[in-house]
Amino acid sequence: MREPDWQPETARGGTPMWGWLIIVNVLCFILQYTVKGFYSNLALYPEFLKQGHVYQLLTFQFLHGDLFHIIINCLMIWMIGKPIEEALGKRRLLSLYLLSGIVGGLIQCGLAWANINPTGGVVGASAGVFGLIAAFAVLQWNREMTILLMFIIPVRIRAKYLLIALAVIGFLGVLTQRQDLGASGVHVAHGAHLGGLLGGVLFIFAFVQGGTFAGAEPWWQRISERWKERKVVTIDGGARAYPRGQSRRKARKVEFVEENIDSILDKISEKGMDSLTDKERAALDKAAKK
């Protein structure tokens, strides 16, 4: 991994968000063994969720079954959280982690209510971790990774294949319609893992890669625009002739954005990248993605 070429001022210095997630998980792990009722009140129970204990969808993400459980999850938060935070920033990393955990918790409870994958209390950061993995795979689709199979055998695999493999394992785990037991006697919540993957993929599509919630136009408008662009022709002198379906107002908007980016590029040429403000950097990054 390498450091990014630049970061906004808000991302420089201080404890990274993935670090805070590890700290909170460790603190909660200590509290669940020292404070009476801490674990039983904050773990996610399908029956309690029915009764309105919605807060458990958040709190269960910071509890763990045993020492091995928390070590693995914190290790994954460190490994995957760092590149995700460099790409998306602190707030989006936190939102991604919590949203994936919530989706995972809801799916696990739904399976329990349907008596497909019955479970007692659900704990662990695994759903959020699976969301981070899914987000990394979507952002770095063809990136090669080295994973330790059974924590021993190193295996090279592309991120997209890792995402598919985890989804298949989770789906098969749910279809077994039983509670798999690990070495410590802790049940595996396959539904939470699947939900975490789903939450991570949806987060990237909705809030990062051109989704409507990321500030882009709805997908049907983008498809319509791409179809219209096929009809755009160039006349003598390089001037662009817009088709009837494209309004003059939109054409002026495109030209205005291009002029702003040109001015930023001119500034880089004259004074260098360090001369840009955070607002100019964000505008340049947004234009590059579009």
Q: pLDDT tens, 257-285?
A: 666 788 888 888 888 877 888 888 888 88
Domain of residue 201, CATH code: 1.20.1540.10
**Is there a domain that residue 1 lies in?**
no
Lookup: tokens for 78: 């460190």
pLDDT, one tens digit per residue, over 206-234 is 888 755 455 555 555 656 666 666 555 44
Of 161, 186, 214, at which residue does a domain stop? 214
**Is there a domain that residue 3 lies in?**
no
pLDDT value for 185: 44
**Is there a domain that residue 279 lies in?**
yes
190 and 263 in a single domain? The answer is no
Of 214, 245, 263, at which residue does a domain stop? 214
The mean pLDDT value for 48-74 works out to 93
pLDDT value for 259: 67
**Is there a domain that residue 146 lies in?**
yes
203 and 242 in a single domain? The answer is no
Q: How many other C-beta atoms can be found within 10 angstroms of the C-beta atom of residue 134?
A: 27
pLDDT, one tens digit per residue, over 9-30 is 444 568 899 999 999 999 999 9
225 and 203 in a single domain? The answer is no
pLDDT value for 196: 94
71 and 179 in a single domain? The answer is yes
50 and 118 in a single domain? The answer is yes
pLDDT value for 257: 62
**Is there a domain that residue 47 lies in?**
yes
Residue-number span of the structural domain to which 200 is assigned: 15-214
Q: From 284, 252, 255, select the one nearest 267 (Cα to Cα).
A: 284
149 and 225 in a single domain? The answer is no
pTM comes to 0.67
Residues 6+ positions from 36 with CB-CB distance below 8 Å: none
**Is there a domain that residue 168 lies in?**
yes
206 and 277 in a single domain? The answer is no
**Is there a domain that residue 4 lies in?**
no
38 and 151 in a single domain? The answer is yes
Of 197, 214, 231, at which residue does a domain stop? 214
Q: From 21, 199, 157, 6, select the one nearest 87 (Cα to Cα).
A: 6
Q: pLDDT at residue 57 above 90?
A: yes
**Is there a domain that residue 242 lies in?**
yes
161 and 274 in a single domain? The answer is no
120 and 246 in a single domain? The answer is no
Ramachandran angles phi, psi of 144, nearest 5°: -85, 135
187 and 233 in a single domain? The answer is no
68 and 135 in a single domain? The answer is yes
Of 147 and 209, more confident: 147
